[in-house]
Amino acid sequence: MAFKVRLIQHFKPDMRQEFMELEKEFSLLEQTVVEFPKGKRLLVYSGREPDNTLIWECEFCDLQEVYKVLSYYQNDKRHDDLFQKQKPYILDTYTEIYQVFEGK
C-alpha cells in the first residue's frame, strides 16, 4: 500500500529569496546523499494555500518507510543544520500523509 507525504511550509513573504536559497541546499542534499528521499518541490501558483508556500512531496511504498524517513530527518545533523538556518523564515509548517487510492 503506497503513501504520499507532503511537508508544507509557509514562509515569510518578504524573506522569499533567503528561504529559497536554503531550499536549494536541501535539494542538493537530496541529490548527493543516497539516504535522502528524492522528493518534488512545489510552489503555489494558485490554490487554497497562499503563494508563500513551499510543498515537498514524495511517495513511499509503505507506512513503515514513511516513518523511517521522518525519523531519519529528525536525527540527521546535515538536515537539522539547514533547518535551523531556514527556521527564522518559516511562519508555520505541517506534515500530511496520504494513502494512495488505487481503486481496486
Over range 20-45, report the average pLDDT: 94
Kindly report the CATH number that applies to the domain delimited by 3-99.
Answer: 3.30.70.100
Taking the whole predicted model, whether its pTM rises above 0.85 is answered as yes
Q: What is the pLDDT of residue 35?
A: 84
Over range 17-44, report the average pLDDT: 94
Over range 28-40, report the average pLDDT: 92
Residues 23, 27, 33, 35, CA torsion sign: positive
Query: Does residue 103 have a pLDDT over 80?
Result: no
Residue showing cell 487510492: 101
Q: What is the pLDDT of residue 81?
A: 95
Residue 62's Cβ-side half-sphere holds a number of Cα atoms within 13 Å equal to 1
